[in-house]
Structure 1
């Protein structure tokens, strides 16, 4: 079993995080944006730290077996709150465990529901569809997404 830790952005080497977030295999499943450089990664992290301070949000860097693997969190979207998971391809097998942790966080934070948007470059996931209350297509930032809506179990975070 892998050791997954969730770290505050302030305690992470930004150059290592930048290298992970600039990986081609990771970027192909994100909305297109310029590659990070030292200045832009610092600004982006500042934004994530500010998001983390918003009531109902929690945003962290993911460390797996001591390696920076990406980031995840619960953050606002245009209709409420969304779950976000951004992982280096090397760690894609850990996504299900991270997802369950995020649903637990959603319960701790008092959310009744959260959504999970996956860019149209990703296939529809039958397991997620079975767990979701609904699955729909959505448009965000000029791209198409499959959006899974989940009720949050307040009894079993």
Structure 2
């Protein structure tokens, strides 16, 4: 594993343990050259999934994009990181076990929306405002009233 500080090729594993959701192995490493310590995560990847974006552009599935979006939507909501990791891992497993080599970006967005709807209504509305491209206050009002009808918290 390349050191993120000095780019040396070798590091030593100092500690390994399962992550909180048991979906990854967390490893503490130490660079053999500069001595810096850093953490890596090892996850199972069932298959290489391509994301079909609008305009027929394709790119490899990137878990970090979902992590960033979910983290931003849940910012200052007091939701435990473990619950966010479970949501993200669940979406990733769902995508990888669909049996398809390609998945539409829209389908991923809907999975995130459904997960956030069940997790936190404010985070759900935040994500939807960007995902559905709200342009006016009326868009928020209409969407928020539909969330209340669904029984969001």
| TM-score normalized with structure 1 length | 0.31
Of the two, which has the highest radius of gyration? Answer: 2
Structure (1 or 2) with the greater strand fraction: 1
| TM-score normalized with structure 2 length | 0.32
Question: Which protein has greater RCO, CA pairs closer than 8 Å, 6+ apart?
Answer: 1
Structure (1 or 2) with the greater helix fraction: 2
